[in-house]
Structure 1
Amino acid sequence: MRASRMKLHGFNNLTKTLSFNIYDICYAATPAQVKEYIEYIDEAYNAERLTHILQDVAEIIGANILNIARQDYDPQGASVTMLISEEPVAARELSNTEAPGPLPEAIVGHLDKSHLTVHTYPESHPDNGISTFRVDIDVSTCGRISPLKALNYLIHSFDSDIVTMDYRVRGFTRDVNGKKHYIDHKINSIQNFLARDTRERYQIIDVNVYQENLFHTKMMLKDFDLDSYLFGIDAEDIPPREQREITDKLRREMLEIFYGRNIARGRLR
């Protein structure tokens, strides 16, 4: 049975913000390998490509783009900020159902007076060859639609080792009887907005504070293929003992980011 719509007094004033962070980890020990990795980062995460991703997100949630500011940095890194406003949705049906959102070829939703931002942060260990690259994306909407509808597309836009997501609903809106409502859609986990193939590929943990409308989900890739983390060299060209050492370094980096704490040597397994 279809639920009846809440009758509001004026505009829906709830603000819904999705903070989406990804981590790409690699092993690049020599100057040549580091150079190849930086070239990969410049191609995969430059301001132009990030702008296209945000434009697709705006299209998914039915936004009108007002302004775009973007910048590439030397030697790597980029930032994009996009101001957006509500776009007329005509007969399009809005939905906040707790289910995965569309990929870019299917367009739904709307929002009003809000923004999309993306920033990238490269970081390297000074002496063990591990490089970690972080991308932060914020989607903030005001109105009925939730930015979680863009999450399915964002997940599929990046090959990520670690993903952390925070979703918060702020403020309140009133119904016609003057009663305040602090959330306007059902949600018990961000996981319910992820496609099944994504949930199967990642180890996932939730930390939610339902009373405060705060939802946190973090994911770590289950499968590990050493070749996917090397630059300028293949795993088969590395002696078995060194392969194990590199694998331990990469796994430690992933686990420390996932659990948010340092892991002492000898406690990796």
Structure 2
Amino acid sequence: METKLQLHGFNNLTKSLSFNIYDICYAQTEEQREAYIDYIDEMYNAERLTQILTDVVKIIGANVLNIARQDYEPHGASVTMLIAEHEVGNGETDNEESPGPLPDTILAHLDKSHVTVHTYPESHPHDGVSTFRADIDVSTCGLISPLKVLNYLIHSFDSDVVTVDYRVRGFTRDVDGTKHYIDHDINSIQNYLTEDTQNAYQMIDVNVYQENLFHTKMMLKDFKLDNYVFGVNASDLGPGEAQSIEERLRREMLEIFYSRNVE
């Protein structure tokens, strides 16, 4: 059984999780593109995002101190929360390298901690590809860890491509004065995902262990055209048109996943 660190004073480590999700869609006409953006704005408005972040705060065991939220014109929304750490009985916390709970944005203030979400609907008239991006940041200080919210967040959005960054910053001291730059074991962000999520995505890790910096990229493996065309049915498309649309969508996903343009 792992021996718990005996700390001198407060745990000063800052644990930050940055989570970006991309939902990709094909909307051919201007009317379809506008309808897709309207759908995204309604689906992920400030009220819905606030509820998602409130659930995130519950999962990590924190208290919401303050919330700020805003729907933007013509589209997009932001939520920010300041949060405070719950008192954990007997100094216990769950930092085990294992998946967090599944689901059943708003800005809120935490005590030295915060949760934020910003949405970015986007479309391009030339090739019909539209992309919705949500950026979520969970930063905690003390015992609570943001890693347990990954499963909930992935299942709260239609995530085709996901990029996740986790970093532990600063240090805390034990009773002997020794500095500790991390207070839990972690080998990969992937270990905090359920098996079904791991099987559903192609994943790549880029980790810098000596800097306590962890990065995981995820791209959905299963591709069904019906899930990506907006305003039409894939069965109504001709074979050549369907193949052309699929190639454009796959290219969009690959470019986002590898962070480079594909010729």
Which bracket does the TM-score occupy, shorter chain normalised?
over 0.9
Tell me what 2:57 maps to.
58
Trace 1:1-269 onto structure 2 (pairs within 5 A). 2-90=1-89, 93-103=92-102, 112-264=111-263
Kindly provide the amino acid, as one letter, of the partner of residue 229 in structure 1: Y
Tell me how far apart the structure 1 counterparts of residues 39 and 251 of structure 2 sit (CA, whole Å). 23
Shift of residue 126, structure 1, vs aligned partner: 3.5
Distance 1:146 1:207, change over 3 A: same
* SS of equivalent to 1:29: coil
- Counterpart contact for 1:96–1:146, Cα < 8 Å: yes
- Aligned 8 A contact 1:206 1:216 in 2: yes
TM-score by length of 1: 0.92
Q: In 1, distance between residues paired with 2:167 and 2:101? A: 21
Q: Distance in 2 between matches of 1:91 and 1:171?
A: 24
Alignment check: 8 A CA contact 1:172 1:181 kept: yes
Q: Is the 8 A contact 2:82 2:111 kept in 1?
A: no
CA distance in 2: counterparts of 1:139 and 1:170, whole angstroms: 13
Q: What secondary structure does 1:258 align onto?
A: helix
Offset, 1:92: 8.6
1:93 deviates by 4.1
Tell me which amino acid in the other structure corresponds to 1:195. Answer: T
**CA offset digits 1:49-94 (Å, max 9, x no partner):** 1100000001111111111111111222100000111223446941
SS of structure 2 residue aligned to 1:36: helix
Letter in 2 for 1:156: H
Is contact 1:59–1:104 with CA below 8 Å preserved after alignment?
A: no
Q: Which moved more, 1:52-61 or 1:95-104?
A: 95-104
Q: In structure 1, how many angstroms separate the alpha carbons of the residues matched to 2:181 and 2:90?
A: 27
Q: TM (normalized to structure 2)? A: 0.94
Q: What's the CA shift for 1:39?
A: 2.4
Count of residues in Structure 1 that have an aligned counterpart in Structure 2: 258
Native 8 Å contact 2:30 2:125 kept in 1? no
Aligned AA (2:64): I
Q: What is the identity percentage for the equivalent residue pairs of Structure 1 and Structure 2?
A: 73
Q: Greater shift after overlay, 241-250 or 34-43?
A: 34-43
Tell me the CA shift for residue 131 of structure 1.
0.8
Residue 112 of structure 1 and its aligned partner are, at CA, apart by 4.7
Contact 1:18 1:147 in 2 (8 A): yes
Counterpart contact for 1:130–1:250, Cα < 8 Å: yes
Shift of 1:35: 2.6
> Which stretches in structure 1 are left out of the alignment for 5+ residues?
106-110, 265-269
Q: Which amino acid aligns with 2:119?
A: T
Q: Distance in 2 between matches of 1:92 and 1:12?
A: 11
8 Å contact from structure 2 (residues 25, 249) kept in 1: yes
Give distance in 2, aligned partners of 1:86 and 1:104. Answer: 21
Contact 2:33/2:123 (8 A) holds in 1: no
Distance 2:102 2:235 in 1: 37
CA RMSD of aligned residues (A): 1.4
- Distance in 2, Cα, partners of 1:29 & 1:208: 39
1:102–1:150 Cα contact (<8 Å) kept = yes
Q: Contact 1:20/1:138 (CA < 8 Å) preserved in 2?
A: yes
Counterpart in the other structure of 2:107: none
CA contact (8 A) 1:112 1:143 kept: no
